[in-house]
Amino acid sequence: MIQRESKSGMLKAVIYIVALILLIKLFSIQIVDNSYKLMAKNNVIKKMTVYPSRGLILDRNGKVIVSNDAVYDIDVQYNLLSKYPLDTNKFCELLNVSSEFVSKRLEEIKRMSPNRPAPLIKLVEPSTFAGFQEHLFEFPAVSYTTRTVRAYPYKGAAHVLGYLGEATKEKIDNSNGYYEMGDYVGVTGLESYYEEYLRGEKGFTYQIVDVHGRSQGIYKDGKEDMQPVAGYDIITSLDIDLQTYGEELMQNKLGSIVAIEPSSGEVLAYVSSPAYDPNLLTGRYRGKNYMKLSRNPLKPLINRPISATYPPGSTFKIPSALVIFDHNIHSPDWSYQCRGAYFAKGVRVRCHGVHFLPDVVSALKQSCNSYSCTIFNDMVMSPTLGTPEQAYNKWRNGIMSFGFGHQLGIDMVGEKSGNVPSADYYNRIYGKGRWKANTIISIAIGQGEVLSTPLQLANMVAAVSNDGVYYTPSLIKYITKSKKLYQPVKESHEANVRKEFFPYIKEAMAETVRSGTARGSKSNDFDFAAKTGTAQNPHGKDHSIFIAYAPLDHPKIAVAVIVENGGFGATYAGPISSLMIEKYLNDTISSKRLYLQERMFNANLTPTHEEKN
Amino acid sequence: MKRRIDKENQYESSVIISYLILMFIGYLAIFSTQYDGTFSIFDLSTNYGKQLMWIGVSGIIFIIILGLDTNLIKNFSYLFYIVILLLLASVFIIGAATNGNLNWIDLGFMKLQPSEFAKLATAVALARFLDNPDVRFNNKKHRLTSFIIVAIPMGIILAQGDAGSALVFLGFIFVFNREGLGNWVIYLGLYLITISLFALVMDKFLLITAVVILFSLILIYIYVILPKQKGVVALVVGAMLLSIAYVVAVDTVFHSVLKQHQQDRINIILGKLEDNKGVGYNLAQSKIAIGSGGPIGKGFLQGTQTRYDFVPEMTTDFIFCSIAEQWGFMGSIVIVGLFVVLLQRLVTMADRQRTAFGRVYILSIVSIILIHFLVNIGMTIGLLPVIGIPLPFISYGGSSLLSFSIMIAIAIKIDSERMMTS
């Protein structure tokens, strides 16, 4: 007995030691370590994002061209489905989706986030949602989130405005934590370029949730919540009526219209044809519609005004003549006899006929190839300007000072620079010192390697109409927030040509309309100045090019039109330009010219259409 | 024995009171995790309603046992043991699996967990065996029989995949120690646990080098102090070789025998694996709940972690979280304190028994409750791997509560009659 009495001490000691060890550890996590309290708060308090309303986009006259519509994400919490099974047939019928889609999405949700509400069907339009909401109580595992999508009441200007898409992983990683999975960001156009202004600032509310993420109340009565801040509105430079009119004129044709206000560089119209209804790229069918558009052989998603390049054709004769006069090679009233073509050793550039040209005005209004080739040859081969290479570089620098061969810096991503071949380029092809003006003579009439975007053409005519001064083209007029206007700085540039030569050229462009190559587009109600062009197209019919501005004094609009496969500049691009000018200046088209408008509306030049015929 | 007890039945009140308080706290804790604003005290669709029913059933059975004859219990102990072994075996055929372990028999009105009762049955059977005056623990044959009585249910439960319940049977080492198995068993156990831990966290070859150096130092020491003791040298060298073999064995068992989830649980405890969402989720949430309780807790029904379902298994294996979150470190002290009082009083009771049956039985249940107490709370605070065994008297569950209540009731009954038997 006594022996055993002493042995029980061992077990008693073990009990005390066990208790002591447990209490020491409990003391350390309950009293010493405070981190568990923070973790408990993070567990229970869920930060919910409150999305700000995205800034509106207006046209230059204050018309809203992009607004926000409410739509609904239908969310499901996967782990509740075992308790509250989904009546899939009814669900699919109410929301107009296929059961295959639903089961596929459910699999994804099961894998990604089964413990909290995850979007099952995104961006359901209000009309469908209203019907579903009445039955919502029948689906306890289902909830919804209100979201906004963009709406485009004018259905136009898709390429300028751009569209929204879900933030990519790259975008999220580079946003300093601003974007999260599922956020929408501008992908193209103004939506992308001015994303940081338009998006506003997210707000947050803190809610108490259980482990399933179901709300159990608001934390601290919302004292720590943060209200979202709405995005800035953008007032674009576009005139939406002119824009949609341009899109109508260009329907069933490929090409571009760019209209610029010469005194500011503001883009008044920016048509990329074929256009598409921007409403297609919002809402729940966005993905499907995007696929359809991207597979369309006419490539409606291409932003032609800044990313398509064409040989500028005869419109190039204008800056070329100005640069040559500026180097004192010829004066504007130098007279010339065209013999039906430009002849040189091994070269022959055809002209439209035999004509005597007393000055540059008559040369340009008839778009004489021989004249332009001759003066170009005279400059490049002029001994006063050094070697042909040095002289060519002087000519090229002059041309580039009109905005060719480099990006103009419009507020849109994806601008091409075009091309004005460098002397080095010719050296590589022909050998240094082994080429002369006649080797590269086609550049004098805007053919060959020289390439320009429609925007560059519009910019050039704006510069000419403004005696050489032009502004970096811009698609916005103001950024506004709570009635305050912020105007972007307008950067001005000047072509390297003495002002004294511009009146001759402007007169030549006015004469082109009165009695020259553009006379078919003339109107009795208003005067305008223009130049036709035809871009040689090795793949098919030539492209019709036309540049114009109006009025003759204090021009308000400069426009460049390119109609692919439209033939001569005067055929399609000319009438379209003149109608654009009339629409902008007079708001309406006079009854006498309605036939012209009809002809343009109805012309179908799309490749598929021609094949059918 | 000069003292003569006049009263026929003298019940050990401190044990009964501790038992009742623990059960009451358990009920409150289960209630608090399920309370949703409305409640009806006898609502059997809720866990707290069912637990209240089981508390009632336990109370009735407790009183019935106090009214029984101790000899009856003693006489039925082998039968009870054999029935439980059969039930355990039958789980293989008609059992239901929970948490991947096969350990239920669905009786319709309750889900019987034979493993809960197996501990009780083993305690009475072992007590009965050692109570025989012809049985001497020093006798190798009898000692082996004692081991086998414990090993059979332990083996079956282990085969059913319930490592947690099987582990509890290791507690019987305390009983064997008390009955004459030398202290060296416990020291050896501690040495093996230490070396196992090192084997899991350290590089195998580094550890073997350390063992060799350690034993070489001992050898040098022995050689200087006690020269020419060849037997001792052989013993030390033998121990060293066995230790090295053991290290290799632990490493092999860990990587080849244990399943991935079991390896992960151990690695999380050892700090080799950080995984708050996967395997470590239970433990991480458990520690958050307990830690966020602070010194005095968040108050009754104010425990956010346990109320909003963050802690899994929160009415059964992780019930301690609910208590520690709502009543903080104070609550922890109360629970630990109550267990200490209960266990210490039971050891004292065991010591005053005049029969081997009473002594062995009470020590057996002390060991069982002690292991449950250590392993359950130890796992919720990250001292031990997550092993699913209930906290006695507190965790939700009929089999567990009933089994522990009967254990206590029989101990009280035996103790109350200690003066009456010859």
**Contact between chains at B383 and A39 (C-beta distance less than 8 A):** no
Distance from CA of B290 to the nearest CA of A (A): 7
Q: Are B265 and B284 contacting, i.e. CB atoms less than 8 angstroms apart? A: no
Q: Please tell me the distance from the alpha carbon of residue A37 to that of residue A45, in angstroms, as a whole number.
A: 12
**Contact between chains at A23 and B333 (C-beta distance less than 8 A):** yes
Give the max Cα distance, chain B.
Answer: 80
Q: Please tell me the distance from the alpha carbon of residue B265 to that of residue A575, in angstroms, as a whole number.
A: 80
Q: Please tell me the distance from the alpha carbon of residue A191 to that of residue A173, in angstroms, as a whole number.
A: 19
pLDDT per position as a tens digit, A122-155:
888 888 888 888 888 888 888 888 888 899 999 9
Q: What pLDDT, on the 0 to 100 scale, is given for residue B263?
A: 75
Residue A485: is its pLDDT beyond 90?
no
**Contact between chains at B292 and A40 (C-beta distance less than 8 A):** yes
Q: Is B419 on the interface with A (CB under 8 A)?
A: no
The residue behind tokens 């995005």 is A231
Comparing alpha-carbon positions, the chain B residue that sits nearest to A213 is: B308
The minimal CB distance from B347 to the residues A11, A35, A40 is found for A11
pLDDT per position as a tens digit, B109-142:
667 788 889 999 999 999 999 998 888 888 889 9
- DSSP-derived secondary structure letter, A31: I
The minimal CB distance from A11 to the residues B304, B307, B366 is found for B366
First to last CA, chain B: 12
Highest mean pLDDT among B128-137, B155-164, B261-270, B366-375: B366-375
Q: What pLDDT, on the 0 to 100 scale, is given for residue B228?
A: 63
Percent of chain A with pLDDT over 90: 59
**Contact between chains at B374 and A7 (C-beta distance less than 8 A):** no
The minimal CB distance from B309 to the residues A4, A39, A211 is found for A211
Among B residues 176-205, those touching chain A with beta carbons less than 8 Å apart: 177-178, 183, 186
Q: Are B137 and B329 contacting, i.e. CB atoms less than 8 angstroms apart? A: no
Q: Please tell me the distance from the alpha carbon of residue A56 to that of residue A124, in angstroms, as a whole number.
A: 21
Mean of pLDDT over chain B: 83
Give the max Cα distance, chain A.
Answer: 142
Cis amide leading into A274 (omega within 30): yes
Q: Are B381 and B33 contacting, i.e. CB atoms less than 8 angstroms apart? A: no
Cis amide leading into A262 (omega within 30): no
Comparing alpha-carbon positions, the chain A residue that sits nearest to B187 is: A10
Residue A231: is its pLDDT beyond 60?
yes
Fold of A64-153: Penicillin-binding protein 2a (Domain 2) (3.90.1310)
Q: What pLDDT, on the 0 to 100 scale, is given for residue B162?
A: 78
Comparing alpha-carbon positions, the chain A residue that sits nearest to B182 is: A7
Distance from CA of A55 to the nearest CA of B (A): 39
Q: Are A581 and A548 contacting, i.e. CB atoms less than 8 angstroms apart? A: yes
Three-state DSSP at B275 gives coil
Distance from CA of B362 to the nearest CA of A (A): 12
Q: What is the mean pLDDT of residues A258-277?
A: 95
Distance from CA of B327 to the nearest CA of A (A): 11
Q: What pLDDT, on the 0 to 100 scale, is given for residue B1?
A: 42
Instruction: Please name which of B243, B158, B257 lies closest in space to residue B196, comparing C-alpha atoms.
Output: B243
Domain boundaries, chain B: 13-180+358-416, 189-257
pLDDT per position as a tens digit, B72-118:
889 999 999 999 999 888 877 765 555 545 566 666 666 778 888 99
Q: What pLDDT, on the 0 to 100 scale, is given for residue A609?
A: 54
> What value does the CA radius of gyration of chain A take, rounded to a whole number of Å?
34
What the block records as the tokens of B336 is: 């630990």
Distance from CA of B382 to the nearest CA of A (A): 9
Q: Please tell me the distance from the alpha carbon of residue A372 to that of residue A443, in angstroms, as a whole number.
A: 10
Please enumerate in sequence order all residues whose Cβ is within 8 A of that of B271, keeping only pairs 6 or more positions apart, or say none.
none
**Contact between chains at B288 and A212 (C-beta distance less than 8 A):** no
**Contact between chains at B292 and A5 (C-beta distance less than 8 A):** no
**Contact between chains at A43 and B304 (C-beta distance less than 8 A):** yes
Percent of chain A with pLDDT over 70: 96
Counted residue by residue, chain B has a size of 422
Residue B359 Cα distances to A45, A272, B5, B83, B126, angstroms: 53, 98, 19, 24, 11
Q: Which of A46-60, A597-611, B44-58 has the lowest mean pLDDT?
A: A597-611
Amino acid (1-letter code) at residue A254: L
Among B residues 13-72, those touching chain A with beta carbons less than 8 Å apart: none
Q: Return the number of CB contacts < 8 Å for A and B.
A: 120
Domain boundaries, chain A: 64-153, 154-228, 240-277+303-612
What the block records as the tokens of A324 is: 């040559």
Mean of pLDDT over chain A: 89
Higher pLDDT, A375 or B205: A375
**Contact between chains at A30 and B329 (C-beta distance less than 8 A):** yes
pLDDT per position as a tens digit, A49-107:
788 889 999 999 999 999 998 888 888 888 788 778 888 888 888 888 888 888 898 88
The phi-psi region of residue B379 (left if phi > 0; otherwise alpha if psi is between -120 and 50; otherwise beta) is alpha
Highest mean pLDDT among A112-121, A280-289, A471-480: A471-480
Q: What is the mean pLDDT of residues B34-55?
A: 80
Q: Give me the torsion for CA of A288, A293, A294, A295, rounded to 10°.
A: 90
Backbone angles phi, psi at A150, to 5 degrees: -80, 145
Residue A5: is its pLDDT beyond 50?
no
Among B residues 344-383, those touching chain A with beta carbons less than 8 Å apart: 344, 347-348, 350-351, 359, 363, 366-367, 370, 373-374, 377-378, 381-383
Q: Please tell me the distance from the alpha carbon of residue B52 to that of residue A4, in angstroms, as a whole number.
A: 40
Mutate which: B340, B367, B369, B373, vs A, most A CBs within 10 A: B340
Q: What pLDDT, on the 0 to 100 scale, is given for residue B357?
A: 93
Q: Please tell me the distance from the alpha carbon of residue B22 to that of residue B45, in angstroms, as a whole number.
A: 23
**Contact between chains at B310 and A211 (C-beta distance less than 8 A):** yes
Q: Which residues of A touch B289 (CB under 8 A)?
A: 40
**Contact between chains at A39 and B333 (C-beta distance less than 8 A):** no
**Contact between chains at B347 and A8 (C-beta distance less than 8 A):** yes
> What value does the CA radius of gyration of chain B take, rounded to a whole number of Å?
23
**Contact between chains at B340 and A16 (C-beta distance less than 8 A):** yes
Residue B38: is its pLDDT beyond 90?
no
Q: Which residues of A touch B174 (CB under 8 A)?
A: 10-11, 14
**Contact between chains at A4 and B304 (C-beta distance less than 8 A):** no
SS3 content of chain B, % helix, strand, coil (to 5): 70, 5, 30
Q: Which residues of B touch A7 (CB under 8 A)?
A: 177-178
pLDDT per position as a tens digit, B206-237:
888 888 888 888 888 777 776 666 777 787 88
Highest mean pLDDT among A139-148, B196-205, B369-378: B369-378
**Contact between chains at A21 and B383 (C-beta distance less than 8 A):** yes
pLDDT per position as a tens digit, B267-298:
766 656 655 555 567 778 888 889 888 898 88
Residue B422: is its pLDDT beyond 50?
no
Backbone angles phi, psi at A388, to 5 degrees: -55, -35
Instruction: Please name which of A552, A600, A554, A606 lies closest in space to residue A575, comparing C-alpha atoms.
Output: A600
Res. A262 pLDDT band, cuts 50 70 90: very high
Q: Which residues of A touch B (CB under 8 A)?
A: 4-5, 7-8, 10-12, 14-16, 18-19, 21-23, 25-27, 29-31, 33, 35-37, 39-41, 43-44, 208-212, 216
Q: What is the mean pLDDT of residues A450-475?
A: 96
Q: What is the mean pLDDT of residues A261-276?
A: 95
**Contact between chains at A36 and B374 (C-beta distance less than 8 A):** no
Q: What pLDDT, on the 0 to 100 scale, is given for residue A211?
A: 64
Q: Do the bridges between strand A492-494 and strand A469-471 make them parallel or antiparallel, or are there none, so unpaired?
A: antiparallel
Question: Residue ranges of the alpha helices (H) in A121-274?
Answer: 126-133, 158-161, 169-173, 189-193, 195-198, 240-249
Among B residues 311-340, those touching chain A with beta carbons less than 8 Å apart: 324, 328-329, 332-333, 336-337, 339-340
Instruction: Please name which of A173, A227, A281 lies closest in space to residue A53, comparing C-alpha atoms.
Output: A227
Q: Please tell me the distance from the alpha carbon of residue A248 to that of residue A267, in angstroms, as a whole number.
A: 18
**Contact between chains at B174 and A11 (C-beta distance less than 8 A):** yes
ipTM over 0.90: no
Q: What pLDDT, on the 0 to 100 scale, is given for residue A463?
A: 96
Q: Are A577 and A526 contacting, i.e. CB atoms less than 8 angstroms apart? A: no
Q: Where are the beta strands (DSSP E) in A443-594?
A: 469-471, 476-481, 484-486, 492-494, 529-535, 543-550, 557-563
Q: Which residues of A touch B370 (CB under 8 A)?
A: 14-15, 18
Burial (Cβ within 10 Å: 0-12, 13-18, ≥19) of residue B8: exposed
pLDDT per position as a tens digit, A363-416:
999 999 999 999 999 999 999 999 999 999 999 999 999 999 999 999 999 999
Q: Which residues of A touch B36 (CB under 8 A)?
A: none
Distance from CA of A205 to the nearest CA of B (A): 19
The minimal CB distance from B328 to the residues A14, A30, A211 is found for A30
**Contact between chains at A209 and B308 (C-beta distance less than 8 A):** yes
Q: Which of A129-133, A406-410, A423-427, B32-36 has the lowest mean pLDDT?
A: B32-36
Higher pLDDT, A485 or A473: A473
Q: Are A266 and A249 contacting, i.e. CB atoms less than 8 angstroms apart? A: no
Provide the β-strand partners of residue A165: A185
Three-state DSSP at B407 gives helix
Q: What pLDDT, on the 0 to 100 scale, is given for residue B159?
A: 80
Residue A1: is its pLDDT beyond 60?
no
The minimal CB distance from A5 to the residues B285, B351, B381 is found for B351
Exposure class string for A325-356: b at 16+ Cβ within 10 A, else e: bbbebbebebebebeebbebeebebebeeebe
pLDDT per position as a tens digit, A198-224:
998 888 887 777 666 666 777 667 777
The minimal CB distance from B332 to the residues A12, A14, A26 is found for A26
Res. A15 pLDDT band, cuts 50 70 90: very high
Residue B86 Cα distances to A272, A362, B309, angstroms: 85, 118, 37
Provide the β-strand partners of residue A273: A255
Residue B28: is its pLDDT beyond 60?
yes
Fold of A240-277+303-612: Beta-lactamase (3.40.710)
- DSSP-derived secondary structure letter, A220: G
- DSSP-derived secondary structure letter, A279: G
Res. B346 pLDDT band, cuts 50 70 90: very high
Q: What pLDDT, on the 0 to 100 scale, is given for residue B107?
A: 64
Comparing alpha-carbon positions, the chain B residue that sits nearest to A40 is: B288
